[in-house]
Chains A and B, each alone.
Chain A
Amino acid sequence: MNAEVESFSAPWPGVLVEMKDFVDLWFLARRCEPATVRIFISRTLVPQARLQPHVREFKAAVSGIPGCVIEFKGTDSPSHKIEIEYRRPA
């Protein structure tokens, strides 16, 4: 398995637009490859009370990519992060 990681630190909730564009472009470039997308939201940048409804909307916007599993986790790192794990054809 290979992984691609990208960090984001723009202000909340606008950063979610950047994150969505990143996910969309990645899947556009590698059409329909099965992948796991892990989205890490920085606890230091976003307090829990400000997560919703933005995360729900973001989740709805990125769901439905065929063969793709999306997971959300909180992280203590100083920036948000998207990790896309995929299998490279042999």
Chain B
Amino acid sequence: MSGLWSRISTAFERTDIGAAGDGTHGAQEPVRSTSTRYAPIRNAVERRVNAFLRDDLVSHLEIGPNEVFVLHYIEIAPDQQGEAELDQFMHEFSPESRVYWVKKLLGGAVGRHVSVDQFLGLDREFAAAQLAETDPYDEALNQSVIPPYRVILHGRWEARKEKPVVVAAASAPANDATETPDTRTEEIRAPGPSLKLSVQDNKAPDAGSWAGTRVIEVDSYPAVLGTSAEADVEISGYYVSARHCTLHWEARQLWLVDHSTNGTWVDGEKLRHGARVALANGAVISFGRDRGEADYDRYPSIRAQIMRKTAAPGGVAPTPIAPSRATPVVPLVVSSGAASPASAPLAPAKKPPLAVISIVDASGSPRRDVLTVPYTIGRGSAQDYVVPDANQGVSREHLVIEALDATGALTLNRAVSKNGTTSGHESLPERFTWRFGQEIILGEKWASSPPVRLTLRPVEEES
């Protein structure tokens, strides 16, 4: 056991707040590409820190917005195969370098929501005997496969010492006016275009049709949507989270970021947890499930219409811009000033694809544009390309395109230990470069259902 840990083990109470690699957080996190020989260690630590920032921190701050996590130390627990690599890692990188790396991973959260004043470092785990670990049978049951490193953050939550920044109130429901400013989260809000939200939930006067919705206007961002009384737009519904999603105005574009437990749908497409998408004018946001105009009390919906701001001070009310429903999912770039003529529709800013995938699956021969990375492929409903259920040999999340370059795509083969991915009848490893023009086959080993054939093509070849 390291001398450092024997000293600090008596100094701090052991306060695990969770571990990566246990299959709960790790599976939902995007895996970054890395080519160093310490990739599994880096991935495990990065995945855990990201899960802490996205899940633990966000959910804690929903209840205790004025608290800060005081990080004490981080330990890494290798399984048998990772022991030697971890030894080399610890030998190669000084304690100071490891502290620097962790602070860098924590990024902007340091100082705002995380304190590293008492951070001692990142090191191997305590000796199991000293920690009085769980029953050896349960330990044997819970041995992990990938990644082989368990990363545990130790620390405690404390009340923030300084007073949070007072924020400007949005044009929100009347009951927001009674809120005291110091109960709001620390965020600097900036003005943006006037957005008219037609909310269909059980608070709407005549919900069930868009005509009977309640209308809320938002003109400063970020704006939080959720059931919390502190949300900028309060939405009522069984499957709506306290802070379900946030609207941002950045780079002259309206964005939605999902933080929900039960999911957010935009124009009928489910977002991946934590996803950030550009919102089209007239986009319909559904909470918990996309049920159209049905079940609005359990699965509320919102239609977002961008309003032009009036040119004359104190003049006419904002005019809604006609929603572009003919091409529903194309994001719009909006002029936030009054320069454009009042009747002119806003020009769509179509994002060019990074690559194109030609597919042969149970539905026929569709093609999919890869618009962003990571790009996920599998039978799960939250994937970017959802493989038909008839292709049973394909896993729920089978492949992840992590990065693209001139030769092809750096691809994570999540199904490597299951039904696998092959090319020319040879199994592909956990990470491989999917070259442009190369055909790969998903679930070829699965005899009882057809495999899926995919060919990656550069955009120039397709256009």
Which residues of A are at the interface with B, using a C-beta cutoff of 8 A?
Answer: 31-32, 34, 41, 43, 48, 51-52, 55-57, 59-61, 63-66, 69-70, 72-74, 89-90
Contact = CB atoms under 8 A, between A and B. Distances in A.
A69 B141 contact: no
Please list the 4 inter-chain residue pairs (A to B) with the smallest Cβ-Cβ separation, ordered nearest first: A74-B137, A72-B141, A56-B145, A51-B140
Given A64-B397, A66-B380, A74 B138 contact: yes
B137 A43 contact: yes
A43 B145 CA distance: 21
Interface string B378-400: 00111000000000000111000
Contacts of A52: 140, 143
Nearest to B419: A61
19 contacts: A34-B262, A43-B137, A48-B136, A51-B137, A57-B417, A59-B145, A60-B418, A65-B396, A66-B380, A66-B396, A70-B24, A72-B142, A73-B138, A73-B141, A74-B137, A74-B138, A74-B141, A89-B238, A90-B298
Contacts of A51: 137, 140-141
A32 B239 CA distance: 13
Given A64-B396, A64-B414, A74-B135, A34 B141 contact: no
Query: What does DSSP make chain B's interface, helix, strand, loop or mixed?
Result: loop
Interface in B404-430: 414, 417-418
Interface residues of B, number: 27
Interface in B282-300: 298
Nearest to A47: B137
A70 B23 contact: yes
B59 interface: no
B218 to A, nearest CB: 29
Contacts of A48: 136-137, 140
A49 to B, nearest CB: 8
A85 to B, nearest CB: 14
